[in-house]
């Protein structure tokens, strides 16, 4: 069965403008263009759009999606299995947040008593689940099961004050990184302040601090696109600059 662009858009719940844009960026092209100049889509395009929408639901950017599904080694069934696992994790995170909101409402009504630490449990659980889903395989391979499990346990047992301090440090790193990059010198006082804050941020979850592990993590920020994107959001070139600043910091400390 074939569909015009308007019919295809209605079935998929997207706009024709979106489909035209996907065509322009070589993400989803019609199967053919008829003699009247209309885009025509078939079953292959339906399946491809479903994959795209699954990736978008998991907040994957369009450029990354294109690189994945345009790869000649792309496996449709493996991708669906991955989507399923990720969506289950996402559902579990939402379930935890929903439960926390319900408990908070009951607390505000005076129906139950909720400790301060309890109010942050779901947030900590969600962060652990997200990190495990995104980076678990790589970090466990690099640092070992024991280290990662100990790190997760330390994070889980953080007090409200420690959690807030760690969060604040993370925000300060992202705020200072663009300013440090403007100096053009990873050895500058500001760049080294960022590196020091990064070390302090790590100590909230790492079982013990290691200079080599710190350098290795900084290298991962550059070598792994997912890690790199986190600091690139703060400033373009931020991941490489932070890596260089951390290497200098570690070597001088």
SS (H, E, C) 78-128: HHHHHHHHHHHHHHHHHHHHHHHHHHHHHHHCCCCCCCCCHHHHHHHHHHH
Q: Which residue has the higher pLDDT, 246 or 158?
A: 246
Report the pLDDT averaged over residues 231-246.
93
Question: Is the per-residue pLDDT at 170 higher than 80?
Answer: yes
How far apart CA 45 and CA 149 sit, in angstroms, is 42
| Statement: the pTM of the whole predicted model exceeds 0.85 | no
Report the pLDDT averaged over residues 16-39.
93
Give the chain's domain count. Answer: 3
- Asked if residue 205 and residue 249 are part of one domain, the reply reads yes
Percent of the chain with pLDDT over 90: 46
- Asked if residue 192 and residue 135 are part of one domain, the reply reads no
CATH number for the domain harbouring residue 18: 1.10.1660.10
Q: How confident is the model at residue 139, as a pLDDT?
A: 79
Report which of 221, 87, 53, 206 is spatially closest to residue 144, judged by C-alpha positions: 206
- Asked if residue 99 and residue 51 are part of one domain, the reply reads no
How far apart CA 192 and CA 131 sit, in angstroms, is 26
- Asked if residue 33 and residue 18 are part of one domain, the reply reads yes
Question: Is the per-residue pLDDT at 224 higher than 90?
Answer: no
- Give backbone dihedrals phi and psi of 218, rounded to 5 degrees, phi first: -60, -40
- Asked if residue 209 and residue 245 are part of one domain, the reply reads yes
Report which of 133, 49, 140 is spatially closest to residue 86, judged by C-alpha positions: 133
Most confident residue range from 21-30, 116-125, 225-234 = 21-30
Contact 162, 204 (CB under 8 A): yes
- Give backbone dihedrals phi and psi of 41, rounded to 5 degrees, phi first: -120, 145
Residue 190 tokens read as: 């500001």
- Asked if residue 221 and residue 132 are part of one domain, the reply reads no
Asked which of 16-25, 98-107, 124-133 is least confident by mean pLDDT, the reply is 124-133
Question: Is the per-residue pLDDT at 197 higher than 70?
Answer: yes
Confidence of residue 1 (pLDDT cuts 50, 70, 90): confident
Q: Which residue has the higher pLDDT, 245 or 130?
A: 245
**How crowded is residue 139: how many other Cβ atoms within 10 Å of its Cβ?**
19
Strand 3-4 to 32-33 pairing: unpaired
- Asked if residue 55 and residue 44 are part of one domain, the reply reads yes
Confidence of residue 198 (pLDDT cuts 50, 70, 90): very high
- Asked if residue 191 and residue 152 are part of one domain, the reply reads no
- Asked if residue 131 and residue 166 are part of one domain, the reply reads no
Q: How confident is the model at residue 75, as a pLDDT?
A: 87
Beta strands in the chain (DSSP E): 3-4, 32-33, 39-41
Q: Show which of 69, 86, 110 is a domain's final residue.
A: 69
- Asked if residue 165 and residue 214 are part of one domain, the reply reads yes
User: Distance from CA of residue 155 to its chain's centroid?
Assistant: 18
Q: Show which of 34, 52, 69 is a domain's final residue.
A: 69
Confidence of residue 253 (pLDDT cuts 50, 70, 90): confident
How far apart CA 131 and CA 143 sit, in angstroms, is 14
**How crowded is residue 52: how many other Cβ atoms within 10 Å of its Cβ?**
21
Q: Domain residues for 12?
A: 3-69
Contact 55, 80 (CB under 8 A): no
For the chain, what is the mean pLDDT? 87
- Asked if residue 96 and residue 54 are part of one domain, the reply reads no
- Asked if residue 149 and residue 221 are part of one domain, the reply reads no
Confidence of residue 89 (pLDDT cuts 50, 70, 90): confident
Question: Is the per-residue pLDDT at 94 higher than 80?
Answer: no
Confidence of residue 120 (pLDDT cuts 50, 70, 90): low
> To which residue do tokens 């969060």 refer?
167
Q: Show which of 69, 84, 103 is a domain's final residue.
A: 69
> To which residue do tokens 């200079």 refer?
211
């Amino acid at each position: 069965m074939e569909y015009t662009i308007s019919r295809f858009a209605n079935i998929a719940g997207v706009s024709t403008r979106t489909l035209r844009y996907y065509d322009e960026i070589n993400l989803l092209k019609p199967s053919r263009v008829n003699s009247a100049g209309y885009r025509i889509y078939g079953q292959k395009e339906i399946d491809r759009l479903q994959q795209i929408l699954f990736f978008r639901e998991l907040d994957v950017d369009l450029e990354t999606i294109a690189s994945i599904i345009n790869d000649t080694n792309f496996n449709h069934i493996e991708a669906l299995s991955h989507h399923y696992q990720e969506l289950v994790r996402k559902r579990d995170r939402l379930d935890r947040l929903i439960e926390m909101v319900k408990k908070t409402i009951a607390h505000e009504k005076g129906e139950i008593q909720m400790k301060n630490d309890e109010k942050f449990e779901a947030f900590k659980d969600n962060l652990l689940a997200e990190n495990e889903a995104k980076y678990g395989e790589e970090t466990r391979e690099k640092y070992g099961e024991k280290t990662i499990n100990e790190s997760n346990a330390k994070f889980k047992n953080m007090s409200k004050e420690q959690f807030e301090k760690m969060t604040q440090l993370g925000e300060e790193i992202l705020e200072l990184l663009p300013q440090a990059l403007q100096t053009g010198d990873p050895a500058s006082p500001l760049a080294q302040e960022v590196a020091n804050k990064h070390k302090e941020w790590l100590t909230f979850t790492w079982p013990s601090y290691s200079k080599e592990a710190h350098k290795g993590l900084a290298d991962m920020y550059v070598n792994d696109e997912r890690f790199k994107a986190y600091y690139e959001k703060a400033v373009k070139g931020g991941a490489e600059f932070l890596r260089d600043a951390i290497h200098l910091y570690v070597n001088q400390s």
